[in-house]
Amino acid sequence: MTTRNLAVLAAGIVAATLAVSQGADSASQPRLAFRTIPIEGVPSNEHKVTPYRLYDKLVVTVWDPVACGQKPHDAAVSIKGGVVFLSYSLTAATAGAKACTLVSEFEVADVPNRDLEVQFAGGAEPYVVAKMRKCPNYTPAGGDIWECLVPAKS
């Protein structure tokens, strides 16, 4: 091989290495889309966390008891091992505000292929845990059981 061919080959190897390492980094960083619907007149004292997974996307619906007028901000997602942590902060409650329910949807893309547990915290409260299981009557063609997960029965 000539020196020029070796240089081209070396440049190709470096480019391929960078592409693989960047792909690995982007795959490890989930992307989050967040939406909310405040519901007044439907107070709830119970948190409900309902996760569903379809292929590499995880959609989690959360019913969070809040004071009317509170708004979520700084929605966040992180994945550590088999646990997906979802959270947001809430604006301060107004004195004397009635109880309301905030319905949120976390849509997390680029979720790794593994068994998952979802934990949610809105504000300073402790995390609420939702476990997942393989979809019933689902037989994946490639043996990838993580293509479809639903809430596990408690």
Residue 6: which H helix or E strand, with range?
A: helix 3-28
pLDDT at 37: 84
| C-alpha to C-alpha distance for 43 and 88, rounded to whole angstroms | 19
Give which of 51, 75, 73, 76 is closest to 62, Cα–Cα. 51
Question: Hey, where are the domains in the chain?
Answer: 29-151
Question: Where is pLDDT greater, at 154 or 4?
Answer: 154
Torsion angle (degrees, nearest 10) of CA 28, 51, 42, 96: -30
pLDDT at 22: 35
pLDDT, one tens digit per residue, over 111-142 is 888 888 999 998 778 899 999 888 888 777 76
Mean pLDDT of 95-109: 93
pLDDT at 28: 60
Task: For residue 32, count CB atoms less than 10 angstroms from its CB and return exposed for 0-12, middle for 13-18, buried for 19 or more.
Answer: middle
Inform me whether the pLDDT recorded for 151 exceeds 80. Answer: yes
pLDDT at 14: 35
Question: Where is pLDDT greater, at 147 or 22?
Answer: 147
Whether the model clears a pTM of 0.85, i.e. scores above it, the answer is no
| C-alpha to C-alpha distance for 67 and 149, rounded to whole angstroms | 32
pLDDT, one tens digit per residue, over 16-74 is 333 333 333 334 678 999 999 877 777 778 889 999 998 889 999 999 999 988 999 99
